[in-house]
Structure 1
Amino acid sequence: MKEITAKELEQKIDAGEEVNIIDVREDEEVAGGKIPGAKHIPLGQIPDRLDEINKNEHYYIVCRSGGRSGRACDYLQEKGYDTTNMVGGMLDWEGEVEF
């Protein structure tokens, strides 16, 4: 599984790179703020929402601490998607958040 730190992802965003981010946390967690532009798909809904994820794009997967996003990455990679897990999750995120 490919991994990226919160700081490395923040640097990509700050540099103006176009990144696709999926936040797999639950609604109440996302209410506390998410990375600007991130798409919110709770982990349990991913199998039912694969049509919202483009196999031709690369996605950074985010959760609270990196565990659920790791599981999401494993699942999506098995289905043929290109993903990278943000290790440390939102606990390590020091960049901007949107509500």
Structure 2
Amino acid sequence: MTIKEISVDELAELLEQGAPLVDVREPDEYAAARVSGGVLVPLATVPDHLDAFATEGPTYVICRSGGRSMRACEFLAAQGREVVNVAGGTLAWIESGRPVDSDA
């Protein structure tokens, strides 16, 4: 099964259009720096929170660098969800100079 991936540049455009974003990092990582508009669903809890992922149209999935989000995408695709991995994750978002939200 091939999971579609997009760049952070593509994600930025999609978020402006209201695309759903799920962050599968841990709560402390999410609190420190996150892409605005994302919803936290830590990777280990994804099976218990399928309702966080759209049943119509794609949900975009992000983590720190793209690994955990790819694992989440593989699981979700097997459940029949349309998911897209964000290549490079939050690190690529920050490196691109885009702003992040934080609890700090």
Give 4+ residue runs of structure 1 displaced > 4 Å after superposition: none
Normalized per residue, which structure has more strand? Answer: 1
Among candidates 79, 83, 98, match of residue 95 of structure 1: 98
The worse-fitting range, judged by mean Cα deviation, of 47-56 and 60-69 is 47-56
The residue aligned with 1:60 is 60
Q: SS of 1:46's equivalent?
A: helix
Q: Deviations over 1:20-42 (max 9, x none)?
A: 00000001111112111101000
Query: What percentage of residue pairs aligned between the two structures are identical?
Result: 38
Tell me how far 1:11 sits from its aligned partner.
2.9
Distance in 2 (alpha carbons) for counterparts of 1:57 and 1:33: 27
> Aligned partners of 1:46 and 1:53: how far apart in 2?
9
Gap regions ≥5 residues in structure 2: none
Match of 1:72 in 2: 72
Distance in 2 between residues matched to 1:36 and 1:86, nearest whole Å = 14
Question: Scaled by the length of structure 2, what TM-score is found?
Answer: 0.86
Q: Deviations over 1:4-32 (max 9, x none)?
A: 0112211333xx31110000000111111
Calculate the aligned-residue CA RMSD, in Å: 1.2
Between Structure 1 and Structure 2, how many residues are aligned?
Answer: 97
**Structure 1 residue 98 displacement after superposition:** 1.5
